[in-house]
Amino acid sequence: MEKEKAERTVVHVELLCDNSHHYFGSLAAIYEKFKKEEIGIGYGSLRNYGLSAEKPYQNKLCIIRKGYLITIPKQK
C-alpha cells in the first residue's frame, strides 16, 4: 500500500554579497538564521509579498525563491 506523498515547501535564500545559498522549510525559519537587516526585508513584509514559485523576491541583498521538494511516496 502506497502512502500519499505530502508536498513540502522549500524556501531558497541566495545572499548576493557572497553568493551563498540557504534552504529553509518556512519563511519563519529564515529569521531564525538571519536578521531582517541581513536580507533587507522583515518577516511580515515577506509574508505580504506573496512569494511563490512564479514570483520570487529580490532586492540588493538577496533573492528569495519558493519551490517544492520532489519526493517519492513511502512504501508501507
Enter the DSSP assignment of 42: -
Residue 70: the pLDDT is 86
DSSP string for residues in 46-66: HHHHT-BTTB-EE-SSEEEEE
Choose between 59 and 69: higher pLDDT.
59
Which residues 6+ apart lie within 8 Å of 44 measured at CB? none
Per-state percent for the chain, helix, strand, coil, to nearest 5: 25, 35, 40
Residue 1: the pLDDT is 47
3-state secondary structure of 3: coil
How far apart (Å, rounded) are the C-alpha atoms in residues 51 and 28?
A: 13
pLDDT tens track for 4-63: 666 789 999 999 999 999 999 999 999 999 999 999 999 999 999 999 999 999 999 999
Residue 73: the pLDDT is 78
